[in-house]
Structures are given as C-alpha cells and as structure tokens.
A = this chain, B = another copy of it.
C-alpha cells in the first residue's frame, strides 16, 4: 500500500492510502502532486499539503461560499482569490442571480490539472459565460482593480507560506476593502486553532482583518483531512453581520441542495469554543 503522509505538527502526522500517483510536477510557484485512491478518490497536494480530495471537498467549498450568500442574498459580482481547483467557483455559480465571477489564480497549472483529473471541482468552470479566469498574482490583481467593484471577495488561499504569503498581509486586506462595494463581504481562509503553527496564522490573519473591517467574525467547520479537522473562515464586512443579518428564508428560496451547509448550521458555526475565542482576542 502507498501512503501520502502530511505532518500536522512536529509530533502528529496524517496519512491517506493511494493506488496511483497520477501526476507530479514543479511549477514556478509550487510542487503539485495528484494521487488516486479508493476512499478519498482523486486528491492533490501543494508543496506536500492536502488541498482537495473527492471525499470531503464539499465541506470546505460549501462553507467558504454559502454563509456570505445567506447574509446578503443580493450578491452579484464575486472575486475569488486563489481557488484554482474550481470548487469555490462551482458553488458560487450555483446562484443564478450572480452576474460575474472573477477567479484570480496565480498558478494556471493547478486549474489545468484539475480540469483533467478533478472534474468534480473544475469541470465546466471555464465554459461558464459568467466566469472570468485570470492567471496572475492575487495581490497585483486587487491593487489594480477599481474601487467598489465587487460584492464579495473569497480568499481561497493556501497557508501563508511561499505562494500564499502576500495574501495574508495588511496591504492585501486594505486593497480588498477598497475593491469591495459599500456593503461588501470578505471571506478569508483563516487556518485552524489547534496546532500551534496554524493557530499563529489564525491570530495574525484575524488581527489584520479586524484592523480594517468594522465587522469581523470567525466561523468553524469540520474538515477531516485538514490538520486537526477543525478549520475556520474569517467573515469580514462593511455593514452586514452574519448573525443579525442572516436571511434564512431568502436563502432557502435559492433551493440550493447542500451536503454540509444549512441555515441552522450557519448560526452554529459562529459559536466558537472558549479556547478559540480567547486565542483570537489574545491575537488582537
């Protein structure tokens, strides 16, 4: 049996069996590896870290997208930073009311390989008329984007090391604020509270965003193949509060079938354990 193994910390590691390594290449940005197994289906890693697998990608992709739409059901223009596997775009495009989605992925090879090996996330994205694909640096893109041009920005990034680093900076979040409309929402891949290294990333990202946006919250979900299985998104907004402004009935009218998200879980996801609350306050 072949095992893909990821270190979750110095003293913890996680392994998934695979039958076949189907692709391996080094781009100017990162090492990309695709594997195929039975239980987790096809999965790929960037610089050795699990990104997407067929068993639980639905959890991450539903949770990055639907809470923002249930808070503001009138979102029309969406910017995705990263998200080269296409799963986030797939969930956004399920809203017929969305008029344009711009996805800015620095590494085109991720998207091309996912088109080939992971149609569950990347299939049909390029052909969608409402979709604009840009293969360039996310920070560079937002710097030149016009003021108040998006309703929602989804930062679907890797960890803040190497290629993802520029996306976890104050400069980047300030540009996001400027590029968002007056009622804009930012959702940020916020890492995890359990292992020290990830918790430090969580605190840093939260601190920076809190410095810029008037309304900031953090929500959690169960993502078994990410370190500790306890993963977070940051919700930052200019006017909407994700709990006070939850439009549960309006969201249900979209009739979007989800496997993880629902509007009760939406409320529940923002209820954090004490140790996570305290770490977030401590980081501020």
What residues make up the interface of A, taking CB atoms closer than 8 Å to B?
Answer: 3, 9-18, 37-40, 56, 59, 194, 220, 222, 224, 228-230, 258-262, 264-275, 277
Contacts and interface: CB of A to CB of B under 8 A. Distances in A.
A39 B14 contact: no
A269 B228 CA distance: 18
Contacts of A272: 265
Name the prevailing secondary structure of the A interface residues: mixed
Contact of A274 (B10, B14, B37, B262): B262
A273 B262 contact: yes
Contact of A230 (B18, B38, B229, B262): B229
Contact of A220 (B3, B14, B222): B222
Nearest to A38: B11
Identical copies in the complex: 2
Nearest to A13: B15
A51 B81 CA distance: 40
Contacts of A268: 267-271
Given A229-B228, A229-B229, A222 B10 contact: no
Nearest to A17: B11
A12 B269 CA distance: 26
Nearest to A55: B194
Nearest to A223: B229
Contact of A260 (B266, B270, B275): B275
User: What 6 pairs across the A-B complex have the smallest Cβ distances?
Assistant: A229-B229, A268-B271, A268-B268, A11-B39, A11-B17, A222-B230
23 contacts: A10-B39, A11-B37, A11-B38, A11-B39, A11-B40, A12-B14, A14-B14, A14-B15, A59-B273, A194-B224, A222-B228, A222-B229, A224-B228, A224-B230, A228-B229, A259-B275, A261-B273, A262-B277, A265-B272, A265-B273, A266-B271, A268-B270, A268-B271
Contact of A16 (B12, B59, B258, B277): B12
Contacts of A230: 222, 224, 229
